[in-house]
Structure formats: structure tokens, C-alpha cells
Amino acid sequence: MSGPPLRVLVTGATSGFGEAIARRFHAHGAEVIGTGRRQERLDALAAELGPRFTGLCFDVRDDAARTRALEGLVVDVLVNNAGLALGLGKAWEADLADWETMIDTNCRALVAVTRAVLPGMVAQGRGHVVNISSVAADSPYPGGNVYGATKAFVTQFSANLRADLYDKNVRVTDIEPGMCLTEFSLVRFKGDAARAEGVYRGMDPIRAEDVAEAVSWAVSMPAHVNVSRIELFATAQAHGPFNVARRS
């Protein structure tokens, strides 16, 4: 990437997409600020990557902690990566607390982080917001209920940000990964490793590094180009037929 080093804020940088994205930008010479809830992982990244990485330990859902951490922070790129899925139960059986956690993390915290750093981008006349959504934003599946709805929110929020920012030289990109081998399923199934491994059994999913590559490419495009939306499927994954309940 030409020009002065980018200053990049990556939420959820302690694992999966966020860690890979932080590493990718750092490898390209950027100054990276990574957030996460696990101090030990942030410390390990800082020790490995050196002075161009700064870790901010807080939960993006914590209003007071988030405000303290981000107050006055000006960045060139924001990657809203922090998010999760919890459970795969049908809507009438799902845990309401899981639904609320997904909404708080995937939607409310994402817009709050964006609102915190966006004025700085507008003031400096440049910036790029990258939101990590999911193919679940458009492709419903049994048990995806609230998770898919939160990602549809992220995708639509991204489009509406573009509508507001078209004349501010601030770009917005929505990234929608499909099946990816990270801690995603382990978190969804609350530590059940066997069930999480079963999600990817017999197929070759995409990797966190693939998503990081897509993010890096979108950000590295010339300033007059806005990559609005990228959908990433594993080659072995595709849209399926509709479910139809038939009377016998």
C-alpha cells in the first residue's frame, strides 16, 4: 500500500477473521489497533508484532469501556469484525439470552463503534469502514434465525452508510463470508468441539486468511473505487433448494 502507513482499527482481533486481518494489515506496514476481551491474546500479538500493534482490551458491548477506549481515536480504516453466533435451535426453542447477546454484539456494538470513529474520518476527508457480515444475511437456514437477521442488519447498515458518505471520501465495504474454519462454530456450540468439527467434516472451508485477503484487497483499491460488497463461499458450498413440507 502506497502513501503514509494506514492506521487500522480491528475489533475482535484476538482470533479468527480479526486476528488474520490484523496480521495482514500489519504485514503491509499499517499501524494496527486491535480490540478484544482476552488480554493475554492481545499481549501475545503485541509481543509478536511489535510497536505497530496496540491492543485495547474491552468488550464492545460495554458502553462505558468502549467510550473510554475509543474516545478521540482517529483511524483510516475500521474493520467491524467482532461478532458471533450462538446456538442453532429452532426459533421456538432458542435461548432468548443468546438472541440478545447476538443482537448486542453484532448490531448495537457495531453501530456504536462506527459512530465513535466516523466523525474523525469525515473530518480528515478520508476513511474506510469494512463490516464483516455473512452469507447468512441473504441465505436463511434452519436455526439461523436471529444470527442471520443480525447479519442482514449489518449488510443493510453498510449500504445506508454509503448513502450518507458518498460525498465525504469515506468508503464502505460489506464482506460476507460463508463456511470458514475458525472458532466460529466452537463458540456457536459453546465449546462442544466434536459438534463444531462436524460442521466442516468432509469439505474444504474457506480460512480466516482468505477473508483477510478480501478485506486487504478492498482497502487497497484506488481511492476513487468503492468495493461495496464481497460474498465469499467455499468452493464446496453453494445455495441449496427451498425446504418444502409435504403432506403424506
- Tell me how many degrees the CA angle 169-173-175 measures, rounded to the nearest 5: 170
Q: Would you place residue 208 in the very low, low, confident or very high pLDDT band (cuts 50, 70, 90)?
A: very high
pLDDT over 80 (residue 2): no
Could you tell me the sign of the dihedral formed by the alpha carbons of 182, 186, 187, 189, in that order?
positive
Per-residue pLDDT, 189: 87
Segment 238-242 mean pLDDT: 89
Domain ranges of the chain: 7-232
Element housing 110 (H / E): helix 110-124
- Burial label, 25 (beta-carbon count in 10 A; 0-12, 13-18, 19+): buried
Q: Superfamily for 7-232?
A: NAD(P)-binding Rossmann-like Domain (3.40.50.720)
Rounded CA-CA distance 92/98 in Å is: 13
Task: Look up the pTM and report it.
Answer: 0.94
Measured between alpha carbons, how far is 217 from 194 in angstroms, rounded to an integer?
Answer: 34
Rounded to an integer, the average pLDDT of 130-140 is 96
Residues 6+ apart with CB under 8 A from 145: 90, 91, 94, 99
Question: Contact 8/216 with Cβ under 8 angstroms?
Answer: no
Q: Which residues are catalytic?
A: 147
d(C-alpha 33, C-alpha 18), whole Å: 11
pLDDT at 1: 45
Sequence-distant contacts of 53-56: CB under 8 A, at least 24 apart: 53/22, 53/26, 55/13
